[in-house]
Amino acid sequence: MAVATLTLSSKNYSSWSLRGWLLCRLAGLRVVEQMVALDDPENRAELLLLSPSVLVPRLTHEGASVWDTLAIAEYLHELYPNVGMYPADRKARAHCRSVSGEIHSGFANLRSALPMNLKVRHSKFPVFPGARPDIERVETIWAECLDSYGGPWLFGDEPTVADAMFAPVAQRFLTYAVAVSRKSADYCETINSWPLMREWIEDARAEPDEMIELETEF
């Protein structure tokens, strides 16, 4: 059987790489990780939000090459429809796809104001006012899901594609000590305590490289 390869960017800075990796692990697909160097021009452009497209992560599996996180999710769901990547209920599944698509395509102000950085924790951080509506919308999504499906994950007892998509946002809130509701804070801790998240964070902290542009100090 051909070995699946997942091309990744920085584990410390790349929210998209985290999403793709979590999706593969949720599906139970073991992959060989292939890292792209931080000094690669296209990689830096993506991490600094200067590129109109995001080509990493990229899953290569049995002749298929898939590089968009939602495309990766759908590809894995087709391969492994019974592992629970999406809720079993039709309406909940549609809801899961909707919120996953929303975080995938929007929230530009949040991304730029709170860049992903898993190596640091700020006790105080001035959040750009333009990011506040994005933060409020994320909290609304989380509250609706947690209230509707009972938590601790967005769609019930087990993590789904939606949790993989929102995991980087939860980590951003923790990194920058964003003031959120108790419900949102509890969800952030659920993500942070996730064994898969802890594994990723450990690898991120071991990365030697730094991008000065993303090392904000306040």
Instruction: Give the model confidence (pLDDT) of 123-174 as tens digits.
Output: 889 898 999 999 999 999 999 999 999 999 999 999 999 999 999 999 999 9
Name 10's Cβ contacts closer than 8 Å, sequence gap at least 6. Answer: 17, 38, 43, 47, 204, 207, 209, 211
Give the mean model confidence (pLDDT) for residues 8-21.
93
Q: What is the pLDDT of residue 218?
A: 33
Q: Kindly give the residue spans of alpha helices, DSSP state H, lying in 12-131.
A: 15-27, 41-47, 69-79, 90-105, 108-113
Smallest Cα–Cα separation from 10: which of 31, 37, 50, 42? 37
Residue 212 pLDDT grade (very low, low, confident, very high; cuts 50, 70, 90)? low
pLDDT in tens, 187-208: 999 999 999 999 999 999 998 7
How far, in Å, CA of 115 to CA of 121, rounded?
A: 12
Strand 64-66 and strand 31-35: the pairing is unpaired
Rounded mean pLDDT of the chain? 89
How far, in Å, CA of 161 to CA of 70, rounded?
A: 9
pLDDT in tens, 41-73: 555 455 444 444 457 899 999 999 999 999 999
How far, in Å, CA of 43 to CA of 96, rounded?
A: 29
Q: What is the pLDDT of residue 9?
A: 86
- Which of residues 52 and 13 earns the better pLDDT score? 13
Count H helices, E strands: the chain?
9, 4
Smallest Cα–Cα separation from 200: which of 169, 178, 167, 174? 167
Give the mean model confidence (pLDDT) for residues 82-86.
97
Q: How many residues does the chain have?
A: 218
29, 58 contact by CB (below 8 A): no
Indicate if the pLDDT at residue 213 is higher than 60.
no
Cβ neighbours, 10 Å, residue 149: 19
Residue 217 pLDDT grade (very low, low, confident, very high; cuts 50, 70, 90)? very low
User: Percent of the chain scored above 70 by pLDDT?
Assistant: 87
Residue 215 pLDDT grade (very low, low, confident, very high; cuts 50, 70, 90)? low
